[in-house]
Amino acid sequence: MYIKMATLANGQPDNTSLSSNHSNPSTNGHMNGLNHSPGNPSTIPMKDHDAIKLFIGQIPRNLDEKDLKPLFEEFGKIYELTVLKDRFTGMHKGCAFLTYCERESALKAQSALHEQKTLPGMNRPIQVKPADSESRGDRKLFVGMLNKQQSEDDVRRLFEAFGNIEECTILRGPDGNSKGCAFVKYSSHAEAQAAINALHGSQTMPGASSSLVVKFADTDKERTMRRMQQMAGQMGMFNPMAIQFGAYGAYAQALMQQQAAIMASVAQGGYLNPMAAFAAAQMQQMAALNMNGLAAAPMTPTSGGSTPPGITAPAVPSIPSPIGVNGFTGLPPQANGQPAAEAVFANGIHPYPAQSPTAADPLQQAYAGVQQYAAAYPAAYGQISQAFPQPPPMIPQQQREGPEGCNLFIYHLPQEFGDAELMQMFLPFGNVISSKVFVDRATNQSKCFGFVSFDNPASAQAAIQAMNGFQIGMKRLKVQLKRPKDANRPY
């Protein structure tokens, strides 16, 4: 048996597959025999050239073609009616394609039936509308950066000037709250394009972080690509280091990550040491820089060489609160407080090319960095190596907000900080379930604030205690609990 498999953009199977009659090889291929008079082959039904194929949804699974036929025949002669079946199991999928011989019949059926009645056993009303395969080109828009208070009607009002709106849906979360975006479907591509031209970037809704986004919705292909990319990202593929340096790169990277994880673990094991967090972040960043060969370029600033590039800026962290800095027994005595940072940087970790002139080979350089880093903290290294012979792999984050009281709002982040750096910085205080630096959609630049979520409030509090006021460069971090959603409600 060969069944053509095709899926339309909205997931509706193409009507060229799955017809109920493929068990009957004698049936004329593109017709399902509803109008066949076996005794009279001359009455092969004809359809209008502009006939519309309808998609019928919300059909009870116990109804097949012969049960449905009477319901639809009342609007005109049926050319083809096909209940969709699962391609493997043959199970009724609760929907069908219907083509009348005349276009007019389809329009009548649509207006009489679409969402007008609910068939027995169904929760939602029957759907009768042109199948997606009927659509001529892109006409569905994705609308972003809406105000979350805006309703379907508000969006319709905004878009109706540009054409006939067939569908308008606000995307909502499970709680029914708007996600600030919507789909708007016009009757034609031209209308959709007109709306894009007129509305995209035209205004900024109150409460939106940038101007209105109006673009064609993703095609099926784009959606698939996006999913694949997300998957790949989660599995650590597409990693520039691995691509660039193959097995060696992966090895060096593993070393770096292990070191970073160790540092984080040290601090996590009860020693709340922002320095460890910061050093860990430095290491990761350095690995990235070095392995990409970026640091090998002359990035030393023109003025006196005291301002390093990127996040490695003289982030001699100052610690506003003494919390935790005493417990780090593996550190040399002078490692408490600011001098430690200097020591670390002076110890070869620090990536200024001017001060590592011989480290031309990025791999060597990265490895040397690890060695020296370890040498700086011999006790801690040995100790932790035993405790965590195989540091747990960093699980890529997927989760979003944590429970109330676990989510931090962090402001005055260095411009260069991304999600990963933010996470590294807060790992020492507990289990970070998500970290997000807010990025301007237009410029892709960090807005210098972000969110970190822990899985428990105590970690969040510890992070606030230790990191609020933490100085990086010329700025001091502001670390607060994220404002709860229902804050500032006057009643």
Tell me, letter by letter, the H, E, C secondary structure of 199-261: HCCCCCCCCCCCCCEEEECCCHHHHHHHHHHHHHHHCCCCCHHHHHHHHHHHHHHHHHHHHHH
Burial of 142 (0-12, 13-18, 19+ CB in 10 A): middle
Give the shortest CB-136-to-DNA separation in angstroms.
Answer: 19
* The one among 453, 463, 467, 470 contacting DNA by CB under 7 A: 453
Q: What is the CA radius of gyration of the chain?
A: 31
Instruction: Give the residue with the Cβ less far from DNA, 117 or 215.
Output: 215
Asked if residue 144 lies in contact with residue 180, where contact means CB atoms within 8 angstroms, the answer is yes
| Contact range with DNA by CB under 7 A, out of 9-17, 157-165, 334-342, 397-405 | 397-405
Q: Is 142 in the site for DNA (CB under 7 A)?
A: yes
Q: Is 436 in the site for DNA (CB under 7 A)?
A: yes
Q: Which two tokens stand for residue 350?
A: 């620090």
* The one among 449, 457, 465, 476 contacting DNA by CB under 7 A: 449
The rounded distance, in Å, linking the Cα atoms of 51 and 80 is: 11
Helix or strand or coil: residue 449? Answer: strand
Q: Is 483 in the site for DNA (CB under 7 A)?
A: yes
Instruction: Give the residue with the Cβ less far from DNA, 245 or 426.
Output: 426
The rounded distance, in Å, linking the Cα atoms of 172 and 158 is: 19
| CB burial readout 36-48, b (16+ within 10 A) else e | eeeeeeeeebebe
Q: Is 455 in the site for DNA (CB under 7 A)?
A: no
The rounded distance, in Å, linking the Cα atoms of 404 and 441 is: 27
* The one among 204, 209, 224, 431 contacting DNA by CB under 7 A: 209
* The one among 213, 263, 277, 311 contacting DNA by CB under 7 A: 213
Read out DSSP for 356-382?
A: -TT--SHHHHHHHHHHHHHHHSHHHHH
Q: Is 10 in the site for DNA (CB under 7 A)?
A: no
**Contact positions with DNA (CB under 7 A) in 159-188:** 171, 179-181, 183
**Contact positions with DNA (CB under 7 A) in 143-162:** 144-145
CA 278, 284, 290: angle at the middle one, nearest 5?
130
Give the shortest CB-456-to-DNA separation in angstroms.
Answer: 14
Q: Which two tokens stand for residue 466?
A: 């230790």
| Contact range with DNA by CB under 7 A, out of 243-251, 254-262, 306-314, 448-456 | 448-456
Give the shortest CB-475-to-DNA separation in angstroms.
Answer: 7
* The one among 93, 372, 411, 465 contacting DNA by CB under 7 A: 411
**Binding residues for DNA (CB under 7 A):** 142, 144-145, 171, 179-181, 183, 209, 213, 215, 217-218, 223, 400-402, 407, 409, 411-412, 415, 434-436, 438, 441, 447-449, 451-453, 475, 478, 480, 482-483, 485
